[in-house]
Structure 1
């Protein structure tokens, strides 16, 4: 038997899970858009990137309880959560503008503005 192995976690693997309240598009880290349907889970990492998690996979995500952390760790976790929310807001604003740009481009190409 050797020494215990050290475990590591990448920051990008920490996510918040939110259930979609309506059908909407999210923009993935690789630049693709994906439709999320009402009831599906949207996982958002600390950098604001989103992905869809099937409800059947929810049990593979272990919630982190802030009560188990030291006061310093709880403060840090709260700060990361707040920063994640800010990143998500920025990401959602960017995605909205990108969708508007796609619509405007489509209208220009199809001649919708030439009427």
Structure 2
């Protein structure tokens, strides 16, 4: 049996996290980043890809996370497509803090940046 009191506490804490998110949103604007052409083009390709509309069925936690990461990449591709400014072999684009954070979290997860 699941410890319902623990999940009630988690639910209450998720509301605090959402309150913090409101304050973050009010204080943090878009993050301007420079991306090399290869990763920018891969992000745009993720946005332009047409995935089938069929149901995937039950997903493992890993599959769910991978699909979410692919969605985050596609949203970065959308931002590049709509507002990116190409400067030679780089694109300059303003990303929502969520997209920038999702990319940073994935880089930290695979050990490409520190978690400081």
Superposition TM-score, scaled by structure 2 size: 0.28
> Which structure dedicates a bigger proportion of its chain to strand?
1
Q: Which has the larger radius of gyration?
A: 1
More relative contact order, 1 or 2 (CA 8 Å, 6+ apart): 2
